[in-house]
Amino acid sequence: MPDERIYMDNHATTRVDPRVVDAMLPYFTELYGNPGSVSHSFGSEAMEAVDRARASLAAAVGASPREIIFTSGATESNNLAIRGVTERQRRRGDHLISVVTEHKAVLDPLERLGRRGFEVSLLEVAGAGSPQMGILDPQQVSDAIRDDTVLVSVMLANNEVGAIHPLAEVGRICKEQGVLLHCDATQAVGKMNVNVEALQVDLMSFSSHKLYGPKGVGALYVRRRQPHVRLQSQIDGGGQEGGLRSGTLNVPGIVGFARAVELCLDELPSERARLAALRQRLYDGLRNRVEKLTLNGPVLDPLDFRLPGNLNLSFADVDGEALMMKMRQLAVSSGSACTSANPEPSHVLRALGIDEDLVRASLRFGLGRFNTEEDVDVAIETVATAVERLRRLGQSSQKLELASKMAVTLSEKAASEVKRIIEEQKLDDGTVLRVGVAGGGCSGFQYSLGFDKEYDEKTDAKYDWHGVTMVVDKKSALYLDGTVVDFYDGLEKRGFTFENPNATKSCGCGSSFSA
């Protein structure tokens, strides 16, 4: 049966290109040696593959092979860069500079360092109303640098609004001031020309799964000349990667990473133009169909301001979560609160000064290599129809009306166990079973289950199953549609289970829920 879903969340992750898979396959079953075991041919063949991949990646970003350190992904690369610099002895100070719209993989390590006594300055970007919305003014970096500034960290392209920072100018400023510059280039490598010398960066993080390569592998560029950057390792063990990142190298992933970058660079000019045309088609189509639509981030033209596959829009008078639930076949990301550990709406959109209601009504479209004009036309129809229906419902009632229609089932076996517990614990008549979502993210949901004496029909959905009254708060009900609460009684394990069809959906980099 063909998959009728349409994937437009390519800033979160990408489908692995079949050509990348072909390059990787021999290293699973034929050339499977440990690259650290160079005393035999299996190991030396694996090491040769790693060396070729390292050289290829280095050439792609204008570095030397010795300056490429393999990691598990950009999050690890960011942590190694930021903490590696600050934890190295004989640094010049305790002051760090970054930007309010950085990815959490940069902001969270900085926050941790702030709790340890470092001073962190987060710079603002151009706000709502500016054609360069989301873009950093390099002069702010110059003004913020002090004698005790040890590191500046600025991403090249933003993961939510696609804003491209003038990093070469930031690099020039940092070089003149003798301050190290780290760049999270996760969203940029493979989508635009990236050269570490032209940008004058000292450290640069990037990842495979954002550019049609496998998950679980990334890289950190570490400058070795003018200056020679020295880091404190964060993982100790076998001393791999020059002692900076211990652990057996992921040979298939590294080979796939290099092949993915090669393909991106080979097709870069034509693909940038194709994606920009698809994005314009999507934007124009939605503007023609949907009123009160707002573009978040910089203008779409020139392409120097914004990634060609990025489109972030707000739909006034619509709740983002309700909109997502109306478009189950379309995978995009929402700026509204999600089911991750951090329930706050998009920190990026809020930093741009966008109205809170519009932040919660935003969608991020990430167009990629495998999207077509047909996909775009279907997306336009899907979004326009969903927005129209929700606006008819009215802003205040959307989530409650939707939630009241969500089906959450209690199995007969689970109901029997609930009644047994109520009787055993001698709970009051009228006791209800309360079910909810306590948290979650990429790895799945965390559920709450307990007993309550009361409920509110305005905020709770109520179900009666096999003599048990079950209530679900209507926020949780949005993510429990189709869930069956069952009870498992095995030899080694017993307890309530949740069969939730929504749990297979993915979130956008841990910051949004694509249901």
**Helix (H), strand (E) at residue 418:** helix 412-424
**What gap in Å lies between CA 456 and CA 458, rounded to an integer?**
5
Q: Which residues lie closer than 8 Å to 315 by C-beta, 6 or more apart?
A: 290, 292, 293, 323, 361, 362, 363, 383, 387
Q: What DSSP string runs through 136-183?
A: PPHHHHHHH--TTEEEEE--SB-TTT-BB--HHHHHHHHHHHT-EEEE
Structure tokens at 282: 């999507």
Burial of 355 from C-beta contacts in 10 A (0-12 / 13-18 / 19+): middle
CB distance 463 to 408 below 8 Å: yes
Q: Which residues lie closer than 8 Å to 178 by C-beta, 6 or more apart?
A: none
Is residue 442 part of the annotated active site? The answer reads no
Residue 233: how many other CB atoms lie within 10 Å: 18
Say if strands 330-331 and 6-7 run parallel, antiparallel, or are unpaired.
Answer: parallel
Catalytic residue among 174, 183, 338, 509: 338
Which residue type sits at 435?
Answer: V
Q: Which residues lie closer than 8 Å to 180 by C-beta, 6 or more apart?
A: 85, 150, 151, 152, 174, 202, 203, 227, 229
**What gap in Å lies between CA 220 and CA 4, rounded to an integer?**
37
Hey, which residues are catalytic here? 338
